[in-house]
Amino acid sequence: MLDAPAPARLIEAFANTVDVELATDELGTASGLSAWLVGQGLLDRSRRIGAEDHALCLRLRTGIREELGVHVGDTADAALLADADRALRELPVLITVGGGARDGVLSPAPDLPPVRKALAGLAIAWSELAVTGEAARLKRCAEHACAWVFWDVSKNRSRRWCSMRVCGNRAKARRYTAKRASASTGRPA
């Protein structure tokens, strides 16, 4: 089994702060965002987060979730991706040669305020996944009632559901029922 690298675990946790099935959002408030960032080690202590930074974070998460939800034959909502790209431009990162860099080759711009530095940490994690191609293993469940983000451990990266036992079975049961109904009415499914 292929373990998810640290950037994937961070982005997975970030994307899963919204739970479609339970209709909850850990980042629904600025204080929730602050607590989450502290819990992830991106912010050293709880800070007051303004409406602009809160909205920036939600735009980034929405775009990432949209990108992760693209399955074979689907297309992502271009407006959501463009909005996330605009959010990323507000989170500048620096590329260093290495050596003395504490945080690795990419680091948040030093003049960013603490909350923006924390959000830039998410941008860095996403960029590392995109550059290495590992973003293809991070997916959003194809069961729309679920939409949970998961790390695809399948050899050919073809997994569609977070859980075959739950979401996969739901989808297959619906297809089977529709096929049987269409067969009994004589209409194609």
Domain housing 30 = 6-136
CA distances from 126 to 15, 62, 121, 188 (A): 11, 13, 9, 43
| pLDDT band, residue 62 (cuts 50/70/90) | very high
Asked, for residue 154, whether it belongs to a domain, the answer is no
At 117 the pLDDT is: 97
At 70 the pLDDT is: 82
Asked, for residue 50, whether it belongs to a domain, the answer is yes
Asked, for residue 148, whether it belongs to a domain, the answer is no
Digit-coded pLDDT (tens) for 71-107: 766 789 999 999 999 999 999 999 887 655 455 689 9
Asked, for residue 162, whether it belongs to a domain, the answer is no
Average pLDDT, the chain: 87
Asked, for residue 56, whether it belongs to a domain, the answer is yes
CA distances from 155 to 11, 71, 137, 159 (A): 21, 17, 10, 9
pLDDT at 47 > cutoff 60: yes
Pairing of strands 138-140, 149-151: antiparallel
At 87 the pLDDT is: 98
pLDDT at 59 > cutoff 60: yes
Asked, for residue 57, whether it belongs to a domain, the answer is yes
> What is the spatial distance between Cα 100 and Cα 123, in angstroms, rounded to a whole number?
21
Question: Greater confidence, 155 or 78?
Answer: 78
- Within 10 Å of residue 78's Cβ, how many Cβ atoms? 9
Indicate the number of domains in the chain: 1
> What is the spatial distance between Cα 19 and Cα 27, in angstroms, rounded to a whole number?
11
pLDDT at 171 > cutoff 60: no
Highest mean pLDDT among 41-50, 64-73, 95-104, 172-181: 41-50
Asked, for residue 142, whether it belongs to a domain, the answer is no
- Within 10 Å of residue 184's Cβ, how many Cβ atoms? 8
Asked, for residue 78, whether it belongs to a domain, the answer is yes
pLDDT at 56 > cutoff 80: yes
At 179 the pLDDT is: 64
At 139 the pLDDT is: 93
